[in-house]
Structure 1
Amino acid sequence: MSATAPITQDVMTIPRKQAEGPMNLVGLTRDAMRAALIAEGTPEKQAKMRVGQIWQWIYQWGTRDFADMTNLSKAFRAELAEKFVIEVPEVVTKQVSEDGTRKYLVRIAGGHEVEVVYIPEEGRGTLCVSSQVGCTLTCSFCHTGTQKLVRNLTAAEIIGQVMVARDDLGEWPVPGTISEAPRLLSNIVLMGMGEPLYNFENVRDAMKIAMDPEGIQLSRRRITLSTSGVVPEIARTAEEIGCQLAVSFHATTDEVRNNLVPINKRWNIAELIEALRAYPRVSNSERITFEYVMLDGVNDSDADAYRLVELIRGIPAKINLIPFNEWPGAPYKRSSNNRIRAFSEIVYQAGYASPVRKPRGEDIMAACGQLKSATERERKSRKQIEADAGM
């Protein structure tokens, strides 16, 4: 496959059967919304202005009812209500951890479900967003990886996760006003269910909506996309989205990474590192985050730490060390605190920030690597999981 060939799994981009009825305006780009309005009779000369008005109502003030869009004529509002809808995923359940983390199970078209996690911190709050129902990558340490891919999420279903979280947090300003309060949802990480770069177009469109200055207004520096190493799409991420990049790295040899992150068999460590060195934003000293889950006796030795710093030498980077979050049937154990500290110190002494991520939401299975649709909770036996992991 050439480096420029698109690899998005287009056959799974949308539900197999499109819902009949009015078109959902959520998830449409500005150009697509303009085209939709014109197709339904809005004069071309007015369409751009109308898009700006509707956009602000939906994404700045969180309005879901056309009747509330008071700077539009009553007749136009009635036409919109007849031909369009403003729909976001349905929240099926919400769980709140003892540490304040919130996990939402949301239902999308076709009755499928995905999980979304909000992590409150002092002065900020991060929403972990899903991009697929299930995942194709079968990473052996990840609970989501035990769930087969059902389909990609649409742009509406991706940005809709942000909207339902803002609903729950009560963070939409009163229409016509601008909130001066600190943002409760200040960051987005595409680290939920699925591989974002296998659903590139929908992820890109949803994040462009999140960054739009007349809507949700998140800075590109507040959005981080995490990939397991879909090499051909890495440069495209910088060019078409412009967000921060994180890489699920997790091993320093191909032998180990092939078991932990099987996509490594397609694009190995050398190819991945080469793509990261060429990442357009690295030239501006924007750091790439390397995510490294700490697995007892698997990837946590001093030798691993020294190999890691040699592999990434010269790349502006931060190393996030993630204590393994266990789940039922998991074939691994978390590294000891002493082992994690020793690994972190080696990385730090080499000149890289090496924070140890504090597990959040473990009591509600909301921590990193623990997400899995409630309707897809069929447990593999430990023996089967270990066999899949090559143990």
Structure 2
Amino acid sequence: MTEPSFSLLALLKKISTKASAVTADEVTDAITRISQNQCSPVQTGALLTAMHYTGLDMRADVIAGAAKAMRAAGIKIEGLKVHPRGEGVGEGEGVGTYRGGLVDIVGTGGDGHDTFNVSTTAAIVASGCGIRICKHGSKASTSSSGSADILTSLGASLASVTAPVVSEYYSTASHPASSFCFLFAPVYHPAMAHIAPIRRELGCRTIFNVLGPLINPIDYSHPEGLEARILGVGRQELGRVYAETLRLLGVKKALVVCGEEQLDEISPEGYTNCWRLVEGTDGEIGIQEFRIHPTETFGLQTHPLTDVAGGKGPGENAEILKRLLQGKMPKGDPIMDFVLCNAAALVAVTGVVGGVEKLGADGIMRGSLWKNAVETAMEGIMSGQSSRSWERFVEVSRRASEAQLTA
């Protein structure tokens, strides 16, 4: 084992005496040292635990600083080009404000509900709606089936989708507007390999539980980063903190969601609390709070969480996803409606469709924009475009795997 070259004792002592005096820069430096494997596992574990129990890992400036440190330690996609609308993207251009950039939808996990892989499925569905999806994710840590687990079960070779492969994937102006790509977190964040055993031993939530959705490699590989994103959090108190973190990181178009059941997705059962980044006329980014509802916002039925349980494992979940992409699952099916809520929200936030929206006095968002987004998501499925977008990525990943094996 590498001998630790940096001590965290000074920071640990400061946290123990006055945690409120700790600066984001101090934490950023510590996370940088940890990511470079310069600190002992004991001190690393002590720091992560101390941050958890003092609430330091719930401060937006601290989370943003830690995200910057992890981005700096990650693998960059050199030469990444994303051609905007009007430069050959051709299909699915829509009528909204979407400029043709890359988009993500991801949750923090750890909400304890173990639902179907809805954000992964919603990403694939939305990729058939004229959106370039570039989802970042990994295998399951607390659920039965993580994003990487279900996609591997569907035939993708995720570990082969390295930075050069992604750069080539987006290299031409003819790259379709409707497209899907998945970045497997261990490929782009090798530092997590030596941090993972420490996290497993601690048995409590750490700042790394909330960093995953904030370190998509696109954000530090392309000048504009992700154009839009939806991030789900599993605790209500993290919603505004996460939105503020995104604002500190320079994000302009995003929606943070938390189902009222402490669900890190848009709930199929009832209300979901939302925090949306909104750019004002002066260019300043504000945070707008509202609620959405399957019926009142999207025009869909409600379903209890028990009807969208995901504890079947990646194989069975993959079969459900396949059936959905084949158009064999109608509106009204619990999982279909669950997916449509989340996919439509991504379509609406990205700006693929037009329409009006109105925030009611009751705090609930309504309007044609959100219902138009449902119809657009449904069309992506029924036209077969979502399925074709997914199959295109599988083919690219398999070719990359074969090329790497013969190199």
Q: Shared fold (TM-score greater than 0.5)?
A: no
For normalisation by structure 2, the TM-score amounts to 0.33
Greater C-alpha radius of gyration: 1
Higher RCO, 1 vs 2 (CA within 8 Å, ≥6 residues apart) = 2
For normalisation by structure 1, the TM-score amounts to 0.34
Bigger share in helix:
2
Bigger share in strand:
1
